[in-house]
Amino acid sequence: MPDDVVITCRLDRRATVPNENDEVVDNPQRNILTLSKDPAPAADAPTEIPVGATPWTLDIFRRAARHLVCVADTATDTTGAARLWLVSLPPDLDQARVEADVKIPAEAGPPVAVACDPQDTFAAVACKNKIAWVTVDWADPSRSAVTFSPPLPAAPAALVFDPAGAFLVAALPDQHAVQLLTLDRSDPSASDTATLTLEAPGYDGPQWLGISPDGSIISTICPTEDYSDGAAVWIEINRSDPAQSAIAAPQPIGLDVRQAIPSQTDFVSVTVEEPMAWPVTSPG
């Protein structure tokens, strides 16, 4: 049996070059998704795929026998729509390609975070004003549909699904709160919500989220104003009544969080087994 291969997906999103006036500007040719293998065959160079003007953050569907990388792009077209790029991830990285360029309508605002449903149905895209739900059409990702949650009380900074895909958590730093969305899997835009306020005097609102493997504990980090330190706040989820979830007192972590906050992810890894069947389609 072939060995498993770890594929690392990384965004090169802020490379710069000097222009004709020797001014440092963004280099649009370097806004790419870089795919590489570990262990990498000696002759293999990383695969580079353009993914928009301003790729911001990514996550990955770990669907059996098929994987898609979801890359949120904050740049807008002439209609004001932003984009979610769906990129195939076969073991043969030379065959990786953009399968869909899903437009996020302007009403949602620019995307700031993305999280992929563990049940491989939705990509949740946190935008400035609301959460966009992209329901993936696995037969033809270019036909994936977009719906919206009701307006959020504040702009989210991060998203995380629980491992079972039963709920989604959004960090709302301006509200010093997190919002729990108990998913209606037939219509995620109709999901029930509960907002939990975090008491962390001396710290800003939560900008980083994690969740325990059993989905019972949410972890957050609330940074200081200059991001030189932070406090961890844990939430024990009450599944029967999420609004009554227990919130622990903040615990200073004594670490410089400036390199980790905001919590947008620019790389992710996935383990695949070769060979793996890969039905490649082209975006419509």
- Give the phi and the psi of residue 38 in degrees, each rounded to 5: -140, 115
Domain layout of the chain by residue ranges: 1-112+264-277
Query: Which tokens is 63 given?
Result: 């669907």
pLDDT in tens, the chain (284 residues): 345 667 888 887 655 666 667 776 666 555 788 888 876 666 677 888 888 777 788 888 877 657 888 888 888 888 888 889 999 888 788 888 899 999 998 888 888 889 999 999 999 998 887 899 999 998 899 999 999 988 888 889 899 999 999 999 999 999 999 999 998 888 888 888 899 999 899 999 998 898 998 889 999 989 888 888 889 999 999 988 999 999 999 888 877 766 655 445 566 666 654 433 333 333 33
Residues 6+ apart with CB under 8 A from 240: none
User: What integer pLDDT is reported at residue 169 of this predicted model?
Assistant: 93
pLDDT tens digits along 103-120? 998 888 888 889 999 999
> What's the distance, CA 107 to chain centroid?
20
- Using alpha carbons, select from 58, 44, 47, 45 the residue that is nearest to residue 11: 58
